[in-house]
Amino acid sequence: MIIRINGANADIQIETEKTVGEILGAFDSWLSGTGHRLSGISIDEKPVSAGGMDACFIRDIDTVQILDIKTSSLPELLEESFCNMLQDIDDFEEAGFEEKGPFLAQWKESPQSLLLAEQYSDFYNWALMTFSGEGSNPQILRLMTEERLRELRDPQGEISRTETLVAEVCKRLEDLPLDMQTGKDARAAETANAFSGAAEKLFRVFNILKMEGFPVEDIIIEDMPITVFFAEFNNTLRDLLAAYEQRDTVLVGDIAEYEIAPKLRNLYAAMINLTTRTVR
């Protein structure tokens, strides 16, 4: 049997494997440490559909002449998943009332749904609520999908475009003590939501840069390696939450102004420095 990976003959020695599934299982275990995923299979030049995978897995290797294996990087698979999500949103909007129930069940079993549940759980839950009729307008889900696509396709550009957002959020965090002292609860809540959105975006793009091979492990922030900085950031957020639960408005304001805002600003500065000095 000839085994090809992305069109090239692979030097793979079959030992105890008897079925295609056993070969793919061993290959997938090896592949998991490379940053790539199995994304397609063909047997004797015929692609195997999702519905034919069970039969493919139990097929005896003696009945196969050529096994073609296609792999893709995780960012490539995520980009494809979000592109499929745009089509899913179109299909959901066009579906009639009685068709929406079956649509949700089918979508939950789709490849894009399974991958997004693993990699983007918050987004997946939002999509699940939207397609179940319990969430917001599908157009909000569309905007979220388009944003995730921009992040995957151009993480460097997306970081640059976030500059104004980060600056505004940091300024609002610095104003938070006064807002709380003067009873501007609505503005304080808006600030918390804005910070959450900005921080989550930076973390998402950071993970994409890491997947794309940027040397994120070399980042030093506040004289700390990036892993230590993230641990400190999480500790500070826990302190902020504890102060909020205790209704200690003075401490909440101080943490927001003197700890959270500088950390968010420094994280952004480190990421923009990384993306501008790293040649891709």
- Token duo for residue 105: 């069940």
| One-letter amino acid for residue 254 of the chain | D
User: Which residues does 42 contact at the CB level (< 8 Å), separation at least 6?
Assistant: 48, 66, 67, 68, 70
Phi, psi (degrees; rounded to nearest 5) at 11: -85, 75
Between CA 207 and CA 216, with CA 213 as vertex, the angle to 5 degrees is: 60
- The pLDDT value recorded for residue 216 is 93
- The pLDDT value recorded for residue 134 is 80
- The pLDDT value recorded for residue 51 is 81
Strands 8-9 and 2-5: antiparallel
- The pLDDT value recorded for residue 31 is 81
Residue 137's region, left for phi above 0, alpha for psi from -120 to 50, else beta, is beta
- The pLDDT value recorded for residue 140 is 95
The residues spanned by each domain of the chain are 2-72, 77-153, 155-277
What is d(CA 260, CA 240) in angstroms, rounded to the nearest whole number? Answer: 9
Tell me which residue of 147, 273, 262 sits closest to 216, measured CA to CA: 273
- The pLDDT value recorded for residue 237 is 95
- The pLDDT value recorded for residue 126 is 94
Q: What is the CATH number of domain 2-72?
A: 3.10.20
Give Cα separations from 127 to 80, 82, 99 (angstroms).
Answer: 16, 11, 17
Q: What is the pLDDT tens value at each position of the chain, 280 positions in all?
A: 899 999 999 887 788 889 999 998 888 877 877 778 888 999 999 999 878 888 999 999 999 999 999 999 999 999 999 999 999 999 999 998 888 889 999 999 998 999 999 999 999 999 999 999 886 789 999 999 999 999 999 999 999 999 999 999 999 999 999 998 898 989 999 999 999 999 999 999 999 999 988 999 999 999 999 999 999 999 999 999 999 889 898 999 999 999 999 999 999 999 999 998 765 5
Tell me which residue of 259, 274, 280 sits closest to 220, measured CA to CA: 274
| One-letter amino acid for residue 77 of the chain | L
Tell me which residue of 123, 48, 41 sits closest to 82, measured CA to CA: 123
